[in-house]
Chains A and B, each alone.
Chain A
Amino acid sequence: MKQHYELLVIGAGPAGLAAATDAARLGVDVALVDEQKFPGGQIYRNVSRARGQLINYLGKDYMRGKQLVVEFLQSAADYIDNASLWYLDDRLEAGLLIDGASRFISCDQMILASGAQERPMPLPGWHKPGVMTAGAGQILLKSAAVVPQGKLVLAGSGPLLLLLAAQYLRAGVAIEAIVDTTPASRLIGALPGLPRALGAIDYLLKGLSYMHAIRKARIPVYKHVDDLRAEGDERLEAVCFSVGRGNAASEMRIAADTLMLHQGVIPNTRLPLAAGCDLAWDQQQQSWKVSRDDWGQSSVDQVMVAGDCGGIVGARAAELQGRLCALQVACKLNKLDQDQRDRAATPISKFLNRHLAIRPFIDALYAPAPAYQLPADDTLVCRCEEISAGEIRAAARLGCVGPNQAKAFTRCGMGPCQGCLCGSTVATLIADETGAAIEDVGYFKVRPPLKPITLGELSSS
C-alpha cells in the first residue's frame, strides 16, 4: 500500500471491481479499498470462497461475481482490504482505519462505488430481536451458510424478497408465509414501463421463476397487506397485518421466530456527500442520487461515481458503469485519447442500456408503500436514539425545516449509524408534515468520522 495513487476506487462490489480492473489494464496506478476481507461487495459477498451446494442455492447470477474477483486479483491493482473509510473530504484525502490504526492516502482521481443499502422499513416492532432485513438473511447465507430455523416470515416488497425466498427454498429452508406489502395499484402504474422492460426479458423471466418456485412450494402468499407489525414482548412472537379492504378486511396473526423485512434498496450516498458531490432527488426511485453524466462524472472534478451509490441500477449495470468510469479516468490521466475511449465505450454503453431497460418497470412496480415511509406516531424511526415518528412530526410542527434541525431538536440520526437507518424516513416525515418538497427538506449532513474511531486508533496514525 502506497501513500499516493493516481486512482483510488472505494468499494469492491461489481462497480468497483470492474473499474479497478479496467483502470489497471489501461495503465492507471490504482488501489481498491474495501471494508471486507474478500472482494465482492454485498451482492457477490464471499463469492471467492463459495463452494459445495451453496453455489447451487445462491444461483448463477451470484457466481458471475467470481469471474470479476478473479480478473481483479490477476490485475496490477492493489487491494486494500479490511479498511474502514472513516475520513473523506473534497480534497480527496482518504482516512482509512486498518488493524486499529489510521492512515491517510491521497489520490489524483477517485471512483466512488460504495453501493446501496436497504431502504429502512419502519413499522411497529421492527427493532425487536427476531426482526432483521432480507439482505441480512442473504448475507448470513452467503458468508456463513447460516439460515433461520423455526418459523420464518418474509415481508415487504421488491425483487430481493422473491430472490431470497427462492434461494431459501432451494436450500430447504421452511417459509411460513410471504407477506407482500406492494399496493394493488402498483402493477397498473408499472405497465407503461413494460414495453421497455421486454428489452431485458431475462430479468422478467427470472422474477417469474422465483414466483413459480414459491407457488410450487405452496408457501402462503398474502398480497396487498396493510398495517404490518412485528408483535411480541421482549422478542418477535408474531407477524400481524390486515388483508382486504372495507367490510372484507380481516386481521391476520402468524406466529413467527424470524421476520425478514425488505422494501427495496437506496443508494449509499454518504461518501459522495462527504466528497462534496451534488445530489438530486429521483422521484421514480424515491431516493437521492448523485448528479452524474454518462461517464459517471460527478459535480466534483476528480470524483467519478459508479454503480448503485449514484442511483440504483443493479449489479450488471453497476459493473458496466464501473468500466465506463475507468475509461474516462484513463482518458483524464492521458493513458488513452478520446477516440480510443469512445471506441471502447460504445459496446459497454449498449449493454448498459439493455440492463437499464428493466429499471422503470421495477422501480414503479416496487415503489415503497406510503405506510412504511410515513409510519404511525408511536413507531420508532431512529433505532439508535429511539426517536418515534410522532417526535419527528412534533419537531416539524415546531418549525424544523429539515433533518439537520430535527437532529438538533430530537437527537434523531445522532447515534452510531449516523442516520443511515432513519435519514430517508425523517426527511419524508418532515416533507409530509410541512408540505414542503423533499428536495427542499434535504438530507442529514455528512461529517467525519464516517465510522466510529477511538482516540487511540486516531493517534496511532
Chain B
Amino acid sequence: MFRRIEDIGSDTVTLWIDKREFQVPAGISVAAAVLLCGFDKVRDTPVSGSPRLPYCMMGICFDCLMCIDGVPNQQACQVEVRHNMTIDYQRGAAELPQQE
C-alpha cells in the first residue's frame, strides 16, 4: 500500500524478505522497504499474537521489531538495508539461541 515517488538514487539492493527476493532502493530503512514491498505485517505480538506494522518510524514505538540477518528484536526503522540482507517476521517473543 506504499509506493516510491522519486528516484533518490539509482542504486538498488537485493533483499530476502520472508524468503522471497526483492529489489529495493539503497539507503532506505528496512521498515520502509518492508512497507514498499507490500507486506501486511512485520511481526505477531508476544501477548496476543496480533499482527503489527511499523507505527512511528523514528525508533520509539518498537512495533517494527523483526529478525534481520538472523538476529531477532531489531528495530526495522533504525536499520538501513544492505545487499543480500535476510529479513524475517518475528513471531511472538524472540527465541533464545539454541545451545550446541
A interface with B by C-beta (< 8 Å): 35, 37, 42, 49, 51-54, 57, 84, 117-118, 127-133, 135-136, 139-140, 143-150, 171-173, 234-235, 257-258, 268, 383-386, 415-417, 420-421, 452
Contact = CB atoms under 8 A, between A and B. Distances in A.
Given A146-B4, A149-B2, A416 B65 contact: yes
A421 B1 contact: no
B98 interface: no
Interface of B: 1-8, 25, 27-29, 32, 35-36, 40-41, 45, 47-48, 50-63, 65, 73, 77-78, 80
Contacts of B59: 35
A129 B52 contact: yes
Contact of A146 (B36, B41, B56, B77): B36
B3 A49 contact: no
A225 B92 CA distance: 36
6 contacts: A53-B6, A132-B53, A132-B55, A144-B29, A172-B5, A417-B61
A324 to B, nearest CB: 26
A49 B55 contact: no
Contacts of A133: 55-57
Nearest to B3: A149
Contacts, number: 125
Contact of A235 (B5, B32, B51, B65): B51
A235 B40 CA distance: 8
B62 to A, nearest CB: 4
B56 A117 contact: yes
B32 to A, nearest CB: 4
B51 A135 contact: no
Nearest to B78: A35
A147 B57 contact: no
A413 to B, nearest CB: 12
B56 A118 contact: yes
A57 B4 CA distance: 13
A54 B6 contact: yes
B45 A132 contact: no
A383 B61 contact: yes
B8 A130 contact: no
A257 B1 contact: yes
B60 A420 contact: yes
B35 A140 contact: yes
A146 B61 contact: no
Contacts of A145: 4-8, 25
Given A130-B1, A417-B61, A136 B54 contact: yes
A49 B62 CA distance: 26
Contacts of A150: 1
A22 B34 CA distance: 39
Nearest to B47: A386
Contacts of B7: 52, 145
A146 B62 contact: no
Nearest to A416: B62
A115 to B, nearest CB: 9
Given A144-B29, A149-B2, A117 B62 contact: no
B62 A127 contact: no
A133 B36 CA distance: 17
B60 to A, nearest CB: 5
List of 5 A-B pairs having minimum Cβ-Cβ separation, nearest first:
A136-B57, A416-B62, A144-B28, A144-B32, A129-B53
A350 to B, nearest CB: 32
Contacts of B62: 384, 415-417
A168 B80 CA distance: 24
Contacts of B54: 132, 136
Contacts of A420: 60-61
A49 B8 contact: yes
Given A144-B25, A383-B63, A42 B1 contact: no
Given A37-B80, A386-B45, A386-B48, 9 more contacts: A35-B78, A130-B53, A132-B54, A135-B56, A143-B32, A144-B28, A145-B25, A258-B1, A415-B62
A117 B34 CA distance: 23
Contacts of A417: 60-62
B45 A136 contact: no
Nearest to A420: B60
Which of A171, A172, A385, A421 lies at the interface centre, i.e. has the most chain B CB atoms within 10 A of its CB?
A421
A35 B80 CA distance: 12
Nearest to A41: B58
Nearest to B53: A129
Contacts of B56: 117-118, 132-133, 135-136, 421
A130 B60 CA distance: 18
A135 B57 CA distance: 8
Nearest to B45: A386
B52 A139 contact: no
Contacts of B61: 383, 417, 420-421
Contacts of A143: 28-29, 32
A215 B73 CA distance: 43
